[in-house]
Structure 1
């Protein structure tokens, strides 16, 4: 952390101050970017963490706003009996991106983007089941970040 002089006025109670310091045994529950103030609401106890990063590979082009800390909706279309896919269903609304990695396949013929998305424990079976069944997984940037 870096010390900065700011005047927060009536909103100071919502942020970590140098005088108060960081509370004991807390972790960041959301991404706090470099040069941002630390909101008290972004901190929590380790026991409150129930999100884990899961890698999602996609060949689709994502907007430049789809970066770490942004929110995306994850849609899944399960394979059907006719060698196609069923209608997509939203399984992860407003999932937070933890990391974005862009790469290419052999000989640079196509680009693949791997998103590390933070998934809650209760949502994990649906996503892992979709991956295991080779479902079509689509990621859509969610500018509202609604969950």
Structure 2
């Protein structure tokens, strides 16, 4: 039921203040939701940029253009560059952005299409030299170590003598390098008999050294005067 209003004669009705509509205010930088939204957008853009850049993060590495054999020289025509993504493993392979230096040789076989390991390339001597087991006195072997430069002396058997006799020693090979010395030369029982020391021998001298070993000549490895790595001095 409507409520009646009365007015006093001679007076005007009371005025009513008009209502004002609330308007939406534009959010400012202090609005937390706006700040969080902007940060999310920035993080999303940064993540996408990083993803795209990582897709192009490749490094050229050399691969064999054909089957490569040990002992052969390596040139640009023998290799192709392949873009790869390997991370920490990249250092194990030959950098495809650097030119191959003259005088580079294969020291191990690499198949066609195979990435070229850094250990597969070396100098002509590293590629052509061979490792030969040389029996030497166990006591003398104690003074040797990997990398020791030695002169190989040989005393050949005297075929005209009765019993076990040897001729005067002669220099068989100068400047050979010891590759491996058996561990038992310093263990229990060391000094009994002879032990095989692995010596790096130039390719053109391999036959001579093997012949001396097969003829049961007495072989002595003498550390070079310019090398003291195995003598402990």
TM-score by length of 1: 0.60
Larger RCO (alpha carbons 8 Å, 6+ apart) = 1
Shift of 1:116: 0.7
Residue 151 of structure 2 corresponds to residue 73 of structure 1: yes
Shift of 1:61: 2.2
Higher percent of residues as helix: 2
| Shift in CA distance, 67/122, structure 1 to aligned 2, threshold 3 Å | same
188, 210, 230: which one aligns with 1:128: 210
Distance 1:49 1:103 in 2: 29
Q: CA RMSD in A?
A: 3.6
Q: Where do 4+ consecutive residues of structure 1 move more than 6 Å?
A: none
| Shift in CA distance, 119/86, structure 1 to aligned 2, threshold 3 Å | same
- Maintained 8 Å contact 1:102/1:113: no
Find the counterpart in structure 2 of residue 53 from structure 1: 131
Distance 1:101 1:125 in 2: 23
Q: Name the SS of the counterpart of 2:213 in structure 1.
A: helix
Gaps of at least 5 residues in structure 1 are 1-17, 30-42
Q: Larger Cα Rg: Structure 1 or Structure 2?
A: 2
Q: Name the SS of the counterpart of 2:167 in structure 1.
A: coil
Find the counterpart in structure 1 of residue 123 from structure 2: 44
| Shift in CA distance, 63/45, structure 1 to aligned 2, threshold 3 Å | closer
Q: Map 1:1-147; keep pairs closer than 5 Å.
A: 43-44=122-123, 49-62=127-140, 66-80=144-158, 81-82=160-161, 83=163, 84-103=165-184, 108=189, 110=192, 112-145=194-227
TM-score by length of 2: 0.40
| Shift in CA distance, 51/78, structure 1 to aligned 2, threshold 3 Å | same
Find the counterpart in structure 1 of residue 84 from structure 2: none
Distance 1:113 1:28 in 2: 31
Distance 2:124 2:193 in 1: 39
